[in-house]
Structure 1
């Protein structure tokens, strides 16, 4: 374990706070997508990518069952639609706890409940009962003797802080003073933490050029562009740090201290509409990988350097059924088949580990078709990849797409040549993944199912051609469960 992370473990001492000592980066799991993997497949993806903390936007019982015995820390959610009922009825809260918490612990490692999602910003009419809902749930946890393991809080949006910079003068919107005060008192009394949703993407876009994009992406700034709080003289190397500090200072205005902040949502979209020019693959990759490095160094923002900024990235999959602009549907770091949208890893040594174990090399989703064809031609020609399997009538011919054929050819070249310097690039059209892209009878070179063998736990591969309902297009559930067991051993 890296020294910085170990140091973070020693610094965060908040009694029985069960969210986990030390710095960690988790991920949100939304389910508003067309090709939603099964719960078992979702868990296989989590295990194959070594994701140890997840936040669910509801309390899906099938997924909670699939998460049992994985040791993955799980934050479940009371939906906005449930807040009013639970806030008005202790009995409803008890029923919710019995159904969604008591029925699953300890085999499923549930550690927190987020009550609603940005209730103050999205459903203000429920604000009067928000704290009551939190108290009712906590009382039910006490009755079940689960209150020391499971903490209760509610995600608050940065929208509730009208002027977040400079952080030293930031305050919550005064219209929410009574509710915020009650929330903070509850968190302090129950030894819980403050949940903050903070998106530098929106902070940057809404700043209309006041802040440089490097500041939003955790990139170094030249001396003439340094961001400094004029009151404290704290230097802010990232907008993320400034947002967290703005929340800490807003909390301190209530003369309450000792409540750590956990960032329950942050991220950067990798695609956007014509007016969303900063929503790009490159920016999303830069933001999330730099975020991971920042959080896992174990330190907090300038005003609270000893408190790690535990964070959940938004989000696991692209939720293509969500309304709104294209960017809203493009926050996922993985596609529903488990392959990465871009190079991504939840620990700073992941890329080194990926290169050491080899992984798989596949075509990047959304890559230019002409560039993919050029890469395919090179791999099957000068690259000497074995492309016989992607010819008509052969196991990997279907689906008959350039992306599918390029993935197979790219990977065959990479597996054979990486030991002598071969790379997974192909003009920027390729990406490495730890998830086995094999599917049905199409076995990718390097797979544990192939004659060559491999070191990577299989998950499941690209979706088959439209209308093909063959069970071979996705791995059998038993294989996925085996994959999870193997990953436990490894």
Structure 2
């Protein structure tokens, strides 16, 4: 049944007919009616991704209700028109200083990037930057965050849109100086008073969310005292904090942010999880990055987020936390460690990397076993079936040589065949030698989560690179 507040809102908004019962996928909270649907991060750092139209069709077919973009991509915003999907658009980090410089700059940005698509595209949030506090590279934007936020808000208000389109930013957990125990969470001293205090004041005044990127996987890989089960919602570990019991790392990390905001004077701050997920592969030292673990994490994440009986966290029970999975695709042009290119739910041909029910109906045991796959299905080559990891034609010489040295240093057996007089010495080029070393490394470590990455110097192929007596393993 609708609460008294819900009935009151219906009357005050002059709704002609107020349903006596909320739909099954809606929870009535103290803030508003919020539909229980998952969100997805749609990134485009890949040179093999499907068309925007096909991608949007896939997003809807998967039953996502929200889409988060890392820039105001005009093609994507156009394709999202009249889909009913809630859209979060990011103002890129590089534009924050300019937009924060004047009201005119804010108006110009909204005119160019929002006005042509709204309201056909259901834009609900504009994020002013993404993880600007993570790198010194963007330190110049810190003092511009609040002015840019105010200027965008003024532009929206002048058009009568500020009631529907909220403004926020996305932060990583490195905004915290203290995160354990969760109740002791505090923000970093260099940003707490000067930047976050006025920004969180704006968020609470406008009833917006702070978007927090929460990655239990990353914490698990660097913390020897975090168990895999605790990071993956297995409910086999309990951590007690002042009478609150935590059975998973994600709740503890979110509550640390709640505690930090409370300590700063904002006990009612609303939080959305802007990014979370689990990679299917990574470098050899990134243990836990497997298809099975990624499938378990995201399946259990969906069950948690869409639950109507266990809503919120130990510190904020009953509070809905909108959540966006990272990410839709494996993006092969993303820089960094191997896992960076392996967070996707879909291959570029739109086939699933693993099955996940985005409606939250299936339990762990109801899924079929994950198939073992290194990529999307491909036609058998004339040289036979299989996959090999070889040097990329687009790799720069320095990255290629660094990757070659890394593979050879990992195991001297990988490069024995490259020595003078051996079967794979000729042609004596860095690219040829790197292909042999990359493939030797990947074939040995792939089952442990090793990826074909080498900082972007490597790529997978279904064409056997063997030649003469130099036979590449597969």
TM over 0.5: yes
Query: What 5-or-longer segments of structure 2 have no aligned partner?
Result: 1-21, 388-460, 464-474
Do the aligned partners of 2:292 and 2:370 also contact (CA within 8 Å) in 1? no
Q: CA deviation at 1:156?
A: 1.4
Choose which of 237, 258, 267 in structure 2 pairs with 1:248: 258
Change in 2 beyond 3 A, CA 1:350/1:239: same
Q: Counterpart of 1:432? A: none
| Bigger relative CO (Cα 8 Å, ≥ 6 apart) | 1
* 1:108 maps onto 2:118 in alignment: no
The correspondence of residues 71-86 of structure 1 with structure 2, limited to 5 A, is 71-86=84-99
Query: What 5-or-longer segments of structure 1 have no aligned partner?
Result: 373-395, 405-463, 467-490
Choose which of 30, 40, 45 in structure 1 pairs with 2:58: 45
Q: Counterpart of 2:201? A: 185
Q: Counterpart of 2:211? A: 195
Do the aligned partners of 1:196 and 1:262 also contact (CA within 8 Å) in 2? yes
SS in 1 for 2:187: coil
Q: Counterpart of 2:160? A: 145
Q: CA deviation at 1:465?
A: 9.5
Q: CA deviation at 1:170?
A: 0.8
Q: CA deviation at 1:398?
A: 6.6
The correspondence of residues 342-361 of structure 1 with structure 2, limited to 5 A, is 342-349=354-361
Do the aligned partners of 1:22 and 1:308 also contact (CA within 8 Å) in 2? no
Do the aligned partners of 1:321 and 1:329 also contact (CA within 8 Å) in 2? yes
Q: Counterpart of 1:309? A: 321
Change in 2 beyond 3 A, CA 1:107/1:58: same
Q: TM-score, normalised by structure 2?
A: 0.71
Choose which of 343, 366, 372 in structure 1 pairs with 2:374: 366
- Deviation per residue, 1:310-339 (Å, 9 max, x gap): 110110001111111110111111111111
Q: CA deviation at 1:403?
A: 7.7
Q: TM-score, normalised by structure 1?
A: 0.69
The correspondence of residues 224-263 of structure 1 with structure 2, limited to 5 A, is 225-229=237-241, 232-263=242-273
Do the aligned partners of 2:221 and 2:287 also contact (CA within 8 Å) in 1? no
Alignment partners' CA distance in 2, 1:179 and 1:39? 36
Q: RMSD in angstroms over aligned alpha carbons?
A: 2.9
Choose which of 110, 123, 126 in structure 2 pairs with 1:97: 110
Choose which of 41, 44, 48 in structure 2 pairs with 1:35: 48
Q: Counterpart of 1:285? A: 295
Q: Counterpart of 2:147? A: 132
Alignment partners' CA distance in 2, 1:139 and 1:193? 18
- Deviation per residue, 1:46-84 (Å, 9 max, x gap): 122122211000010111111111101110110111111
The correspondence of residues 380-399 of structure 1 with structure 2, limited to 5 A, is none
Q: How many residues align?
A: 363
SS in 2 for 1:116: strand
Do the aligned partners of 1:363 and 1:403 also contact (CA within 8 Å) in 2? no
- Deviation per residue, 1:179-218 (Å, 9 max, x gap): 110111110111111111111011112212x121100000
Do the aligned partners of 1:102 and 1:144 also contact (CA within 8 Å) in 2? no
